[in-house]
Amino acid sequence: MRGLALLAVWLAGQEAAMAGGNAARPLVVEVANPLALARHDEVLSLPLAELRRRRPAWDACRLAVRIAGRPGLLPVQCYADDGGTPDRLLVLLDIAPRDSAKLDIFPAPVDAKASPNPLYARQVPERDDDFAWENGQVAFRIYGSALEKTGQVFPGIDVWSKRPPRHVVDAWYRRDAEGQRLNDPSMSYHIDHGDGLDSYEVGHTPGDGGTAGWLDGAPVASRNASRVRITALGPVRLRFEVDYPAWRVGKVLLRQHKVVTLDAGAHLNRQVVTYRIAGAPRATVAAGVAVHAGADLVHDGATRIAVWDTPQKKSAGRIATALLLAPDETARYARTRDAAWALFDVADGGSIRFASGAGWSQGDMPDFRAWQAYLHDYSMRWSHPLRVHWPATTTDATDR
């Protein structure tokens, strides 16, 4: 009996050692690019449940990822698709056309430094409840309810043209406020001080990706945003939610809730807009992009709308804007005097999915051809995600 007890203790020790060795060994995942185009700043999304199933000991670990055989760590982020408890591991990587790469996933070293964060967002109560966000390439803002006290009801999305990779949101608001205090208009963010400027007019248009109800061939806009909640701040993906006050479109009362995400390195925000409808079983809603006088417009129905727009100041070059439908999304194209639109028919509780964004001719988008090429590549990447090949078994053998 004593011998059996010793054997049991020895076997338990062996199992513990094997488990410890497995937990210490990187999990190797192979990623493949099915497209004949390079993917720069591509976001790979891995389910945390699958990682934890294969490495239960990592449940509470901070994880790191590297390309096998290469030095340095890739930017990673634990992320929640629904804004709650993280359920995905996001990895930012580059991958060549029709290429594949093996990724080592492992517990982050204690001395591992956090990746630089190119993403930023904040509420701006000192400027009438603006909400502004940016990455290294682009910056945007929406207007809050406090601005309505001045009579400005503009629910569209504003574009700030900036030179990558600088962050500008805090600097521009701070400089503009100081200019107003000193009564010095030269300090305004409407003037280029070397890092860009705000020369995009939203007014009563959708701006760059705003939404509206649709009635009798025309948009019916909501009021300004009433609530914004940030749920993720990078370094791979920014996510926030926006609510708007209910508004009437004919006999229908609409409420909309937006989820907006912006990835590091991307020019486009992805939007999922969910509607509650009272007074009818369905409604027509619209997402649009402004088309100012003198702008160039190219579209493939509502699937891809590209604008090479005219800024308020001619010295500010041209502003690129766009709206792209999500893969498998359908909509009808419509044109009004000052905007191009995608029209969607939705039921109560239904959602629409699209992307909208911007570039600048004095930033990193030199001409309209480059902008259209970027949008084409973005659409292809969106509809053809990276392919992930997990190890064949959960044992160590496949990870060695």
Note every long-range contact of 185-190, with CB atoms under 8 Å and residues 24 or more positions apart, other chains counting. 189/160, 190/312, 190/313
- Higher-confidence residue: 392 or 348? 348
Same domain, residue pair 11 and 35: yes
Domain-located, residue 127: yes
In this prediction, residue 24 carries a pLDDT of 64
Cα separation, 246 vs 348, whole angstroms: 14
Over residues 58-92, the pLDDT tens digits come to 987 899 999 998 989 999 999 999 999 999 999 99
pLDDT of residue 23: 60
Q: Is the residue at 15 inside a domain?
A: yes
The overall longest dimension of the chain from CA atoms, in Å, is 92
Tell me the pLDDT band of 164, cut-offs 50, 70 and 90: confident
42 pLDDT above the threshold of 50:
yes
| In a domain? residue 378 | no
Confidence of residue 107 (pLDDT cuts 50, 70, 90): very high
Helices (H), the chain: 2-24, 48-54, 169-181, 368-383
Q: How far apart are the first and last CA of the chain?
A: 38
* Same domain assignment for residues 15 and 75: yes
Residue 359 lies in a domain: yes
Say if 393 falls within a structural domain: no
Of 87, 109, 131, the one marking the end of a domain is 109
Domain end among 109, 139, 173 = 109
Looking at the domain assignment, is residue 387 inside a domain?
no
- Residue 186 has phi, psi (to 5 degrees) of -70, -15
Residues 135 and 57 in one domain: no
The answer to whether residues 33 and 81 belong to one domain is yes
Picking from 5-19, 147-161, 329-343, which range would have the lowest pLDDT averaged per residue? Answer: 5-19
Check: CB of residue 312 under 8 Å from CB of residue 197: no
* CB neighbour list of residue 120: distance below 8 Å, 6 or more residues apart: 133, 134, 135, 167, 169, 170, 233, 234, 238
How many structural domains is the chain composed of?
A: 2
Domain boundary among 90, 109, 128: 109
* Sequence letter at residue 240: F
Asked if residue 18 and residue 156 are part of one domain, the reply reads no
**Are 338 and 281 within one domain?**
yes
Does the residue 275 lie in any domain?
Answer: yes
- Whether residues 170 and 287 share a domain: the answer is yes
Q: Mean pLDDT, to the nearest integer, of 285-303?
A: 98
- Mark whether 212 and 293 lie in a shared domain: yes
CATH of the domain at 52: 2.60.40.1180
How sure is the predictor about 222, in pLDDT bands with cuts at 50, 70 and 90?
A: very high
The reply to whether 37 and 131 lie within a common domain is no
User: What radius of gyration do the chain's Cα atoms show?
Assistant: 24
Question: Is there a contact between 157 and 202 (Cβ–Cβ < 8 Å)?
Answer: yes
> Does 102 share its domain with 224?
no
Range of 197's domain? 120-366
Closest of 24, 46, 101, 75 to residue 265, by C-alpha? 75
Q: What predicted TM-score, i.e. pTM, was given to this entire model?
A: 0.91
Q: Taking all residues of the chain, what is their mean pLDDT, rounded to a whole number?
A: 92
Tens of pLDDT, residue by residue over 116-157, are: 999 999 999 999 999 999 999 999 999 999 999 999 999 999
The per-residue pLDDT for 69 is 85
Q: Which three-class secondary structure state does DSSP give residue 328?
A: coil
Residues 211 and 234 in one domain: yes
Return the residue matching tokens 């990587």: 93
| CB atoms inside a 10 Å sphere around CB 30 | 14
Q: Residue 271 belongs to a domain with what CATH number?
A: 2.70.98
Task: Verify that 186 and 262 share a domain, yes or no.
Answer: yes
Residue 384 domain flag: no
